[in-house]
């Protein structure tokens, strides 16, 4: 089970997530790894990215204390757990200049735009750790 059952605002509340940094480009026709096809389909309603390439992946244990994640474009993301209630985690994601909260359940992924990089856009993909 990816999300630990814990009281909502307890100091020891934690959630395990997988954080992937993905470079998305409109040009091209490459999805590496193929599991990013779900992301391509989900984002296709707004922008069709022909190329999606995972640059890094990391398993994180998020708590109320912010976890910093450095991106290849020089930005630093701060991730923290705001609340865990009914097996749904409320995550705070700060990618300067934005600071937003998202809900993450047992399935699905969150796609957070993380700014320009090379010839495309960086995306932070957050999902329950497997």
Assigned domain for 5 exists: no
> Rounded to whole angstroms, what are the CA distances from 117 to 41, 74, 114, 123, 126?
21, 9, 9, 10, 19
Domain that holds residue 22: 15-128
- Cα separation, 55 vs 127, in Å, equals 16
CA 54 to chain centre: 12
- Cα separation, 103 vs 84, in Å, equals 9
List, for residues 41-65, the tens digit of each pLDDT value: 999 999 999 999 999 999 999 999 9
Assigned domain for 8 exists: no
Contact 83, 9 (CB under 8 A): yes
**Is the model's pLDDT at 4 over the cut of 50?**
no
List, for residues 96-129, the tens digit of each pLDDT value: 999 999 999 988 899 999 999 999 999 999 999 9
**Which of these, 115, 112, 20, 113, lies nearest to 73 by C-alpha position?**
115
**Which of these, 79, 69, 58, 70, lies nearest to 14 by C-alpha position?**
79
Our count of domains for the chain comes to 1
Assigned domain for 10 exists: no
Assigned domain for 7 exists: no
């Amino acid at each position: 089970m990816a999300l630990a059952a814990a009281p909502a605002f307890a100091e020891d509340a934690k959630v395990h997530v997988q954080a992937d940094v993905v470079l998305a480009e409109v040009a091209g026709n490459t999805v590496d790894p193929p599991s990013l096809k779900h992301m391509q389909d989900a984002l296709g309603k707004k922008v069709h990215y022909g190329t999606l390439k995972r640059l890094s992946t990391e398993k994180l244990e998020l708590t109320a204390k912010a976890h910093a994640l450095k991106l290849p474009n020089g930005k630093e993301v701060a991730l923290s757990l705001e609340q865990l209630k009914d097996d749904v985690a409320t995550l705070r994601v700060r990618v300067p200049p934005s600071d937003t909260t998202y809900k993450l359940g047992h399935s699905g992924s969150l796609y957070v735009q993380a700014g320009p990089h090379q010839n495309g856009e960086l995306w932070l993909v957050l999902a329950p750790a497997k």
